[in-house]
Amino acid sequence: MFDYMTLRLIWWAILGVLLVGFAILDGFDIGVAMLHPFVARNDTQRRVTLNTIGPVWEGNQVWFILGGGAVFAAWPPLYAVSFSGFYLAMLLVLIGLILRPVAITFRDKRPESGWRETWDWLFFVSGFVPALIFGVAFGNLLQGVPFHFDQALRATYEGGLLGLLNPFALLCGLVSVAMLTMQGAAWLSVKSEGEVSVRARRSGALAALLLVLLISAAGLWTMLGVEGFRIDGVIEHAGPSNPLAKSVTREAGAWLDNYRAYPWMIAAPALAYTGALVAALAFAFSAGRIAFLASSLSVSGVATMAGFSMFPFLLPSSTHPSQSLTVWDASSSKATLSLMLIAVIVFLPIVLAYTSWVYYVLRGAVSEAAIRRGDDYYY
């Protein structure tokens, strides 16, 4: 159907689509969790925020599972190194994601305000921790991760959790927190009414402007203070997967190479900035739907910008740069990629159609009046 090189590119693009889908859809769930204690000041308002995501958060979280499954099937060495090396970080993310339904469910088990407030703050933690860790992970990818292979391609990870929490990675973590806060605020501006919506718009405008500043700071740091990775010589794009068969050098500014070679990639950072600024204006003028669309485009731009900057690298090695994992030397076989692509072509449109139908059926805002009337809501 396709040659090996094209299949590798297609699966790199599919992985990007899945990550962007997760960032947009589960991103607003995470953002709502972070905003929950601040935009909702009483129990009724907090039930409003919970019910804005109640019918959809489980489906949105599936995009994260799809991303992990795509990595496992299409890029086995990437899965092995990242999920073992980032084990504690992944565990924190999973605890946060598990804490979300626990907090939502248990807050309603007892009527005492102290009990519910405790679970409300744990709900906040369930959003803040994954948002921060996701950004920290991308920050470490840009700097390189300490791992290497032996001659039998057995991977050894040489880092630890505390090593991941370096200043640049934490800055990238703040980019992620601001981005997903903006996305959550955009969702609340569409799906809520009254005081909750007003506070969400204020928070969203602030988060959008903060995102612009943080992206600028991270971009400047990447250009001047982060040594990027560059493949030396010729690499066989359709050759067998062997991360030991190449030469890689590190140099400040190397992550900008793709933008010089392919100027059209500038569309990604342009989308990130333009989307955030348009979202800020839309929040100011109470245009919730425009804010959500612009915010989603900004999220897409930020995620795509990281992928464009690193291409063809998937997981650079800071200790053994020549053993970094790339699109060309870390994939499954041609037969595996071809078979899985057929499954994607068949089932992904079904998933997208069903998701679109669910959002259409569940359209409309959640109001405090409806909560007080006891309408049939989830929480």
Q: Which of 137, 117, 226, 134 is nearest to 177 (CA)?
A: 134
Q: In angstroms, what CA-CA distances link 35 with 40, 123, 289, 317?
A: 8, 10, 18, 36
Please write the tens of the pLDDT for every residue from 355-368. Answer: 889 899 888 888 88
For residue 209, what pLDDT is reported?
97
Mean confidence (pLDDT) of the chain: 92
Q: Is the pLDDT of residue 376 over 70?
A: no
Q: Which residue has the tokens 């069903």?
A: 354
- Tell me the whole-structure pTM to 2 decimals: 0.94
Residues near 263 by Cβ (< 8 Å), separated by ≥ 6?
Answer: none
Helix (H) or strand (E) holding 247: strand 247-252
Each residue's pLDDT tens digit, 21-79:
999 999 999 999 999 999 999 999 999 999 999 888 888 888 888 888 889 989 999 99
pLDDT of residue 293: 97
More confident residue, 172 or 236: 172
Q: Identify the band that residue 134 occupies on the pLDDT scale cut at 50, 70 and 90.
A: very high
312 upstream amide cis, omega within 30 of 0? yes
More confident residue, 6 or 83: 6
Residue 25, CA atoms < 13 Å, CB-side half-sphere: 21
State residue 181's pLDDT score: 97
Per-residue pLDDT at 39: 95
Q: What is the mean pLDDT of residues 179-203?
A: 95
Distant-in-sequence, close-in-space partners of 308: CB < 8 Å, separation ≥ 6: 258, 259, 265, 268
Question: How far, CA to CA in Å, does 249 sit from each of 21, 227, 244?
Answer: 33, 9, 14
Tokens of 227: 């040594």
List helix spans (H) across the chain: 4-39, 43-53, 57-74, 76-85, 87-106, 113-143, 161-164, 167-191, 194-225, 257-261, 267-284, 288-310, 334-361, 368-373
pLDDT tens digits along 227-276: 999 998 888 888 888 898 899 999 998 999 999 999 999 999 999 999 99
Q: Residue for token digits 């955009």?
A: 186
What pLDDT score was predicted for residue 281?
97
Q: What is the mean predicted confidence (pLDDT) over 88-113?
A: 90
Q: What average pLDDT does range 206-232 have in this prediction?
A: 94
User: In this predicted structure, what is the pLDDT of residue 378?
Assistant: 65
DSSP label at 158? Answer: -
- What percentage of the chain has pLDDT greater than the value 90? 69
- Phi, psi for residue 154 in degrees, rounded to 5: -90, 125
Confidence (pLDDT) at 375: 66
Given this model, what pLDDT does residue 362 score? Answer: 85
pLDDT at residue number 324? 94
